[in-house]
Structure 1
Amino acid sequence: MINAVHKHIKSNLPFLMKSKLLLAVSGGLDSMVLLAIMQQLKLNISVAHCNFSLRGEESDADEEFVKHQANSLKIACFSKRFDTEKYAHTTKKSIQVAARELRYQWFQELALKHGYDFVLTAHHLDDQVETFLINFTRGTGLEGLTGINEVNGIVVRPLLPYSREELTAYAIHNAISWREDSSNSSDKYLRNRVRHQVIPILKELNPSFLNAFKQTISHLREAENAIDKISSFYFDKAIKNTENQLIINILELKKIPNYSFYLYQWLKKYGFKAWNDIAELVEAQSGKQIFSSTHVLLKNRTELIVARIEPSSSETYAINTIDSSVNFPLKLVLCNQSNIPTLDKNTIFVNADVLQFPLTIRKWEEGDYFYPSGMQGKKKVSKYFKDEKLSLFEKQSIWILESNSQIVWIIGHRADARFMSKNETINTIKITYNNEKSI
């Protein structure tokens, strides 16, 4: 098996050969085989062990076992104890999800602190099958059926093509010691029920089930790659990606066959799950919204707009002097200016003689009015927004700069004529807005 793994790494994961690697080692069969093979291949490895404090003395014994094995191989070993139950209770997550989050957060920290290029885990083909079946029973898209990725960021799974049976045979043949996790024999967890009750039946129905499964996964990934290319093609036709919004042109969207499928492809990374509601949003009245935990999708006339959910704010922020800058809630820079070049929407030039400090930054409010530059008379801010056809998102994100309770600038949009410098103005202040937000 070691020759097969070596060949697989050289062909498909060659970057591992000269990288600094951190191995996730629980002490179980899979991870001890991973440790043995990587050590025999003479790769640059260290070991990380998580003690989740879920099985009392057994968890502690696993930790000591891994430390002993790493020490005997003269390999650096990191270990950490977690209060997994407390974390699960605090975050309102299952024990398995909590343990997974704690594990990968710590691996990331170790990699950053000690300069590891990749973290290796011992996931194998049977894990791939279990993940496929669990996702299938819960309902999933194509990405859920393609199972576990061999490379996901800095996490690499070099044993993914090999079965648990192959790993067991290798461990026995090479007299590799391992620890048995008593929780693996319990059917309390869904994954264990799939492992103990479902997969044996599938293997009984088809003795070559695992090989057939590998072929199926390969076909699904080819289909996924093809769909990604088509999705990207339609994305370019129907979508405009701005600094802080994703804007979908509904008229262009409707030209796409089975457009709801592509909506799913485009929006899934923003955490949306109410796919029936999203499909209906295309024909809904303007102003209707759908929320994920992090983003909101808005129907705005002939567009669907995706934006990050911003916390509401009634706070005000002060700018006390010229030659000042602020970085929150947005980046604004003030400085003296001797000339007035061509204007743009993110820069204004104001008359220092009529400006009164401190200046205030705040959210706009109903009833606000200003004297728009380039126009005669005053105008309500809400009417200005309507005339500019600003979406609900755009209105919610707008800040006002004011002096002595008078609007100086609808920041990033329109200055107030009362404060603007003229070419003959002696004392001019340049105010620049830098929008660095993204979706």
Structure 2
Amino acid sequence: MLEAFKKHIKTNFHFLEDAKLLIACSGGLDSVVLANLSKDAGYNFSLAHCNYNLRGKQSDDDENFVVDLALKFGCEVHTTSFNMDDFKKNENSSIQASARQLRYEWFNALEEQWGYDFVLTAHHADDDLETHIINLSRGTGIKGLTGIPKKNGTIIRPLLPFKRSEILAFATTKKMTWREDSSNNETKYLRNKIRHNIIPQLKELNANFLDNFKKTQEYLNEATTLLGVYKNELKNSLFRKDDRVVRIEIEALKSKLPLKEHLYLIFEEYGFTQWLDIENLLEAPSGKQVFSKTHKLVKDRDFLLLTELDKIDDHSYTLFEKDTEINSPISLKIKMVSEISKSCGDDLFVDAEKLKFPLLLRKWNNGDYFYPLGMKGKKKLSKFFKDEKVDILSKKNIWLLCSGNDIVWIIGKRADERFKVTPKTDKILKFELH
């Protein structure tokens, strides 16, 4: 198995050979074999063990076993402890899902703190089959049927090609010792039910069931690759990037049939799951929005606007008279000048004596109005944005510079007539937008 493991790494994960690795080690058979294989292959690794305190002394013995294993290998070991009872009080998820969340958050922290390049986990072919069946039972698309990914960011699963029977045979031949988790025999967990009740029957139907499943996974992954190529071509034809906003022409999108499947293909990677809402958005009035955890889609006349959720704080910001520069939420340089110089369009010159400090930076509100430079009378910002064809999402990213309740500048767009420099101006203040 060692030679097969090294060949697999060289072919698919050659970058691991010179990397600094962190191996997730429970002390069970699979992770102990992964650690031994990595040791025999000469890789640079440390061990990481999570103690969830779910099995009393057994949990503590697992942790001690991993610490001793690291001592045997002469490598670094990281351990952490979680109180799952406290965690569960604030989380609406299963013990297994909660443990997984805590585990991977801790791995990420170790990567940042200790400079690990990759985290290795010991998932194998039987785990992949279990995941496939779980996803199938819940209803899934092709992505769910492809099972556990070999690589997910910095998470690598180098044992996926190997069956549990191969791993057990290797450990037995090498006379390895490992810890048995008694909870693995409890069928109250869905994965354990599948492992102990369903998979043995599948293997009884066909002795080569797992090998045939692995071939099916290869075909599904090849199909997924082809689908990814088509998705990229589709996005290149439909997406028009404008600053932070992606514009998608609705009629062009509606011409892609079957429509629901195309909507899923295009928008799934942005975290959207409410496909009926997205389909209805195509016929909705302007301003209608659909949200995922990371993005939003907005109907704007003949287009859908796709953008990341606004990460800019919507609070107001204060500018004092002594300030010469700010970098958040936008970048402005402020200084007194003797005359108006040639402007590139992103500069504002105002009569400093007309300002009331401290000034205020804020987003616009319904009902806001100003006196556009060069015009007589006031104008509502909503009407100004409409005339300037500023789309719904872009409006949300516009900041106002205000003196008291008066708007001095729609930053980067238009200045206010009331604060302009005149022949009577003695002090000229320049705002330079970067």
Give the alignment's TM-score, normalised by structure 1. 0.91
- 1:239-318 to structure 2, matched below 5 A, reads 239-310=239-310, 315-318=315-318
- 1:24-423 to structure 2, matched below 5 A, reads 24-310=24-310, 315-321=315-321, 323-337=323-337, 339-344=340-345, 346-421=346-421
Whether contact under 8 Å (1:322, 1:335) holds in the other structure is no
Unmatched 5+ residue regions in structure 2? none
Task: Report % sequence identity.
Answer: 45
Distance in 2, matches of 1:13 and 1:422, equals 68
Whether contact under 8 Å (2:50, 2:80) holds in the other structure is yes
Whether contact under 8 Å (2:351, 2:429) holds in the other structure is yes
Whether contact under 8 Å (2:340, 2:349) holds in the other structure is no
Distance in 2, matches of 1:350 and 1:228, equals 53
Shift of 1:418: 2.8
Greater Cα shift, 374-383 or 21-30? 374-383
Distance in 1, matches of 2:150 and 2:167, equals 17
Greater Cα shift, 351-360 or 167-176? 351-360
Distance in 2, matches of 1:149 and 1:240, equals 31
Whether contact under 8 Å (2:48, 2:78) holds in the other structure is yes
Whether contact under 8 Å (2:313, 2:329) holds in the other structure is no
Shift of 1:423: 10
Whether contact under 8 Å (2:24, 2:121) holds in the other structure is yes
Equivalent position amino acid for 2:365 in 1: E
For residues 110 and 367 of structure 1, do their structure 2 counterparts lie closer, same or farther at Cα, with a shift above 3 Å needed? closer
Shift of 1:16: 1.2
Shift of 1:311: 8.5
Distance in 2, matches of 1:32 and 1:231, equals 40
Shift of 1:424: 10
Distance in 1, matches of 2:121 and 2:311, equals 38
Shift of 1:258: 2.6
Distance in 2, matches of 1:360 and 1:4, equals 66
1:159-178 CA distance string (max 9 Å, x none): 11001111111111111111
For residues 409 and 48 of structure 1, do their structure 2 counterparts lie closer, same or farther at Cα, with a shift above 3 Å needed? same
For residues 375 and 49 of structure 1, do their structure 2 counterparts lie closer, same or farther at Cα, with a shift above 3 Å needed? same
Equivalent position amino acid for 1:106 in 2: W
Whether contact under 8 Å (1:237, 1:252) holds in the other structure is no
Distance in 2, matches of 1:85 and 1:347, equals 57
1:321-365 CA distance string (max 9 Å, x none): 265333444443323455533433x44333334333221122323
For residues 323 and 3 of structure 1, do their structure 2 counterparts lie closer, same or farther at Cα, with a shift above 3 Å needed? same
Shift of 1:426: 6.8
Whether contact under 8 Å (1:400, 1:410) holds in the other structure is yes
Shift of 1:427: 4.3
Equivalent position amino acid for 1:395 in 2: K
Equivalent position amino acid for 2:180 in 1: E
**Match of 1:91, SS?**
coil
Distance in 2, matches of 1:422 and 1:141, equals 66
Shift of 1:24: 0.8
Shift of 1:315: 4.6
1:397-427 CA distance string (max 9 Å, x none): 4332112322111223322233344799774
Distance in 2, matches of 1:72 and 1:100, equals 27
Equivalent position amino acid for 2:159 in 1: L
Equivalent position amino acid for 1:24 in 2: A
Whether contact under 8 Å (2:334, 2:429) holds in the other structure is yes
Unmatched 5+ residue regions in structure 1? 435-439
Distance in 2, matches of 1:119 and 1:276, equals 38
Distance in 1, matches of 2:391 and 2:56, equals 56
Query: What's the RMSD between the two structures over aligned residues?
Result: 2.4
Distance in 2, matches of 1:84 and 1:22, equals 24
Shift of 1:31: 0.4
For residues 245 and 79 of structure 1, do their structure 2 counterparts lie closer, same or farther at Cα, with a shift above 3 Å needed? same
Shift of 1:310: 4.4
**Match of 2:354, SS?**
coil
Whether contact under 8 Å (2:316, 2:360) holds in the other structure is yes
1:228-258 CA distance string (max 9 Å, x none): 1111112122112334333221122123333
Distance in 1, matches of 2:355 and 2:216, equals 70
Equivalent position amino acid for 1:419 in 2: F
Greater Cα shift, 247-256 or 346-355? 346-355
